[in-house]
Homo-oligomer: A and B are copies of this chain.
Amino acid sequence: MIDLLAIPTLSDIIKAHEVIKPYARFTPVLRSEHVNKRTQSDVYFKCENFQKVGAFKFRGACNAVLTLSDEEASKGVATHSSGNHAQALALAAKIKGIPAFVVMPDNAPKVKVEAVQNYGAEITFCESTLEGRENTLKQVVAETGATIIHPYNDSRIVTGQGTAALELLETNPDLDIILTPVGGGGLLSGTVISAKAIKPEIKVIGTEPEQADDAYESFKAGKLIPAYSTNTIADGLRTSLGELPFNIIKTHVDDIVTVSEDSIKEAMRYIWERMNIIIEPSCAVPVAAIFEGKVDVRGKKVGIIITGGNVDLDNLPW
C-alpha cells in the first residue's frame, strides 16, 4: 500500500507528467506588456484556466486516477467537493472508464452540479456541513468500496499538481521567482518540489487572501493552524492547508504573503481587461501580490500559475 502522505520527488513528478500527458493539456504561457510595465518586471502566466475542466486540479486528479491499482480502479473513486476537484476527478474517472462518486452539499450551485454530472459522476447530496460531507462520503465508500481521492492531502495529487511548474520551467527556464495561490496547498507544494529540484536558486512564494491567511500563519508559526472564518472572494482558497502540503511548504517555500480583498478584485478585473482571459478570484491573488508590491519583482522574471477560470458570469464582483 502506498503512503499517501509521502513527500514526492522531482522524479515522481516527471513520471506523473508522462502519465497525464495524453489527457492533460500542455497549457500556453501568456504575457502582458501592461503587467510588465506596471510591475517593472517580466511576467509569464502559465494558463491553467485553459486546462481541462478549466483548472490545474485536473493534473492531480488525473495522476491519482491513472495510478490506481486495477483492483482499486474497478471500484471507482470518491470525494466530497463542490469545486474544481469534483469536476477534475469526474473527468479523470471517465477517461479511465471507472465510476466516480461525488458528495456535494444540497445547496451547491446548479451549474456546478450539472458540470460534475456531465462528466458522468454519480452525485450524492448531503447537508452543507463538514460533518455532513464526511459522514456521507464514508457511507458512499462503505457501499461502493471506492477509493477516496482527497483534493490536496494526497501524495498523488501533489505530484500531479507539480507538473504545471515542470512545464513552465521547460518553456521558461530562466525564471527567478514563481508565485502561486495557496488554499489546501497542493499546487504550492507540488510547484516548490518541481521548481527547487530543477533550479535550486529559484524563489517560490505562496500568496493568500488576508481573509483566509491560515497558510501564512502556519508558515510563520512553523505548525499547522487551521483556517477559521474565511470570508474571501477567492472561494478556491477558503480551505485549510493540508498536512502533507504543509510539511513540504514549511521547509521549501521562501515566503507566503497576503493581499487585501480590494486588491484581489482589482487584479482580477485588470487581467480580464488587459489579457482577455477569464481568471477566478483565486488566481488574482498572486497578481495582486505583485501589484501591491508584497513581493519585490522589479527587474525579475516571474512565473505565475493561473489556477483556473470557473466563475459565474451572472455574479461578477464589479
Contacts and interface: CB of A to CB of B under 8 A. Distances in A.
Contacts of A314: 318
Which 6 interchain pairs have the tightest Cβ spacing?
A: A276-B309, A28-B28, A276-B278, A49-B276, A54-B276, A277-B277
A92 B273 CA distance: 20
Interface in A268-310: 269, 272-273, 275-279, 308-310
19 contacts: A28-B28, A28-B30, A30-B50, A33-B52, A49-B276, A50-B275, A50-B276, A50-B277, A269-B313, A272-B278, A273-B313, A276-B278, A276-B279, A276-B308, A276-B309, A278-B278, A313-B316, A313-B318, A314-B318
Contacts of A275: 50
Nearest to A118: B34
B272 A313 contact: yes
| Number of copies of this chain that the complex holds | 2
Contacts of A52: 33
Given A30-B50, A50-B30, A276 B277 contact: yes
Interface residues on A, range: 20 to 34
A124 B299 CA distance: 37
A184 B49 CA distance: 33
Contacts of A49: 276
A318 B313 CA distance: 9
Nearest to A25: B31
Interface string A45-69: 0000110101000000000000000
A49 to B, nearest CB: 4
Contacts of A318: 313-314
A316 B273 CA distance: 13
A28 B33 CA distance: 17
A78 B314 CA distance: 40
A268 to B, nearest CB: 10
A137 B52 CA distance: 48
Taking each of A276, A277, A313, which has the highest tally of chain B beta carbons within 10 Å of its own beta carbon? A276
Contacts of A309: 276
Name which of A52, A269, A308, A313 has the most chain B CB atoms within 10 A of its CB: A313
Nearest to A53: B33
A53 to B, nearest CB: 10
A65 to B, nearest CB: 17
A272 B52 CA distance: 14
A201 B58 CA distance: 38
A318 B318 CA distance: 14
